[in-house]
Amino acid sequence: MIKMIRLCDDPQYLEKAAFWFSEKWHIPYEVYLQSMKECIERKKGIPQWYLVLNEQNIIVAGSGIIQNDFHDHPDCTPNLCALYVEKEYRKQNIARNLLEYARKEVAKMGYKKLYLVTDHTSFYERCGYQFLCMVKDNEENEERMYMIDTE
C-alpha cells in the first residue's frame, strides 16, 4: 500500500526528500533543501512538496509546487515541478494522482491555474493539461508550457 504525504506535515522526510529529488533531476541538493525548509516553515502557500511512500516508507514518487520552474514567463505561476515516479512504480496512476492532488491544493490556495514545463508531448494532455506556449529556460533552451484550470 502506497501513501501520499505533504512534506510540511511530515518534516522528518526533509533530508531524504531533498536528496531523492536532487538525484532524480540533477539539481543541487541545497536548492531542494532550501525550498523544502521554506515549505515546512510556512506550512501553507508556495512552495509545497509532495511525496509518495511505499510500504517501507521509501520515497517512490514526488513533485513540488513552486513559483517559477526556471522559465521566462514569471506571470505563469504557480508551477508544478520535479514530477518523478520510480520506474517500477510507473503505470499505476501515481503521476496522475500527484497531478490531481497538486491541482486541488493550488485551488485551495486561491490560484485559478497551475502551470508546468516539460519536454513530454502527450502525457499531460491525457491528464487534462493544455499546451500554452513555448518558454525558455535559464539556459535559453525551449520547453513546452502547459496549464490546467484548478476549478
- Examine the pLDDT at 87 and tell me if it is beyond 90: yes
Nearest Cα residue to 118 out of 126, 108, 110: 126
Are 7 and 36 within 8 A, CB to CB? Answer: yes
Q: Examine the pLDDT at 36 and tell me if it is beyond 90.
A: yes
Rounded distance between C-alpha atoms, residue 100 and residue 91, angstroms:
16
Cα–Cα distance, 42 to 61 (Å, whole number)? 23
Whole-angstrom CA distances from 100 to 29, 30, 37, 137 are: 26, 28, 24, 25
* DSSP letter for each residue of 75-115: TS--EEEEEEE-GGG-SSSHHHHHHHHHHHHHHHTT-SEEE
pLDDT-above-90 percentage for the chain: 81
- Give the model confidence (pLDDT) of 74-84 as tens digits: 889 999 999 99
Residues 88-146: tens digit of each pLDDT: 999 999 999 999 999 999 999 999 999 999 988 889 999 999 999 999 887 888 999 99
The pLDDT of residue 121? 82
Intra-chain end-to-end CA distance of the chain, in Å? 29
- Whether residue 34 is predicted with pLDDT greater than 90 in this model: the reply is yes
Domains of the chain, CATH where assigned: 3-149 (3.40.630.30)
The model's pTM: 0.93
| Cell digits of residue 1 | 500500500
Calpha distance 99→85 (Å, rounded) = 12
- Lay out the sheet containing 113-118: strands in order across: 3-6, 48-53, 59-66, 79-85, 113-118, 142-149, 130-136
Local confidence band at 16 (pLDDT 50, 70, 90 cut-offs): very high
> Is residue 149's pLDDT more than 90?
yes
Lowest pLDDT segment from 10-14, 53-57, 119-123, 127-131: 119-123
Query: How much is the pLDDT for 140?
Result: 83
> What is the structure's pLDDT at 70?
78
